[in-house]
Structure formats: structure tokens, C-alpha cells
């Protein structure tokens, strides 16, 4: 059986950053399962797996445009230090949840919570980055097709 739209596919994978460092991997007993053609996986990755068979192995490099996007400078924000609790222990590299209120004029926008990484801390403010940690770089997926239903 080959992968086609609508197939339920189970894969094991390793995700490598642009330097070849391991970012994420599946556990041997916990493969990633997705429906081919759905929004469950990157479209560019799915198109490269189209027609693959059980047991096949693939090393697929994706550009930033096809994976986690370009770095968006508008997603770097500085929040005044006094908006954080005085006793908050915040260090660069931390990922924190931030409540975001839609800008005026957004239709039907509701407050939402997004995760942002702490980039820098000063006495005046905390610089937060809302970009995906792999934004702006190419990535490589090493995959093995385990099952197709």
C-alpha cells in the first residue's frame, strides 16, 4: 500500500535543525500518526511522502518557508519589567505563556494565550520572541514509514 490522501500513516522520525543537531524524535513505542492530506503535518513534508510505502526511509530537507516560516521581527516584543510579578524568576531561554488581546478592528478576535521565549532581560523590560524556535532555518526530517491504513 502507498501513501495517498486520506491514508492514516504512522511514522517514526527525527527532526534535525540547520546544524544537524537533534531537536525532536519519536519514541520507539510512540510513532507519529497522521491523516495524509490533513493539517496534521507540514504540507511540504506530506507532498514529499506521497506514494511512499511501508518500510521506506526518507531524509527530507525543508526550507524555512516550507517548515516553520521566516523570522518575523514583529513577533519580538518588549514587555515592561513591571508587568511581571516582582518575585518572578525569569531567565533567558524560558518559555512563558502570554495573554494576547486582539488589536482594535480585528473581527471577532478573542483573547488567546501564546507561548513566547524569553530572549533578554533588563531592568526596563523583558524581550520576548513569539517565533517558532526553528523559524528562519531549514530543517531535516529523517522518517521511516511504519504503517499505512
H or E stretch at 16: strand 8-16
Instruction: Answer whether 8-68+134-148 and 73-129 agree in fold.
Output: yes
What is the three-class DSSP state of 4? coil
Q: Which CATH architecture has domain 8-68+134-148?
A: Roll (3.10)
- The whole model's pTM is what? 0.81
pLDDT at residue 108, rounded to an integer: 61
pLDDT at residue 104, rounded to an integer: 61
Domain coordinates in residue numbering, the chain: 8-68+134-148, 73-129
Mean pLDDT of successive 10-residue segments in the chain (149 residues)? 97 98 96 95 96 98 96 94 87 89 66 91 91 96 98
- Fold topology of 73-129: Chitinase A; domain 3 (3.10.50)
pLDDT at residue 102, rounded to an integer: 73
Amino acid at each position: 500500500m502507498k501513501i495517498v490522501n486520506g491514508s492514516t500513516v504512522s511514522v517514526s522520525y527525527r527532526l534535525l535543525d540547520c546544524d544537524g543537531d537533534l531537536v525532536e524524535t519519536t519514541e520507539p513505542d510512540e510513532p507519529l500518526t497522521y491523516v495524509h492530506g490533513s493539517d496534521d503535518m507540514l504540507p511540504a513534508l506530506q507532498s514529499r511522502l506521497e506514494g511512499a510505502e511501508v518500510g521506506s526511509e526518507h531524509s527530507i530537507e525543508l526550507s524555512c518557508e516550507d517548515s516553520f516560516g521566516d523570522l518575523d521581527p514583529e513577533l519580538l516584543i518588549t514587555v515592561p519589567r513591571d508587568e511581571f510579578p516582582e518575585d518572578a524568576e525569569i531567565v533567558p531561554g524560558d518559555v512563558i505563556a502570554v495573554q494576547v488581546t486582539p488589536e482594535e478592528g480585528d473581527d471577532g478576535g478573542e483573547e488567546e494565550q501564546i507561548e513566547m521565549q524569553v530572549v533578554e532581560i533588563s531592568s526596563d523590560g523583558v524581550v520576548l520572541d513569539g517565533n517558532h524556535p526553528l523559524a528562519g532555518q531549514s530543517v531535516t526530517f529523517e522518517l521511516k514509514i511504519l504503517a499505512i491504513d
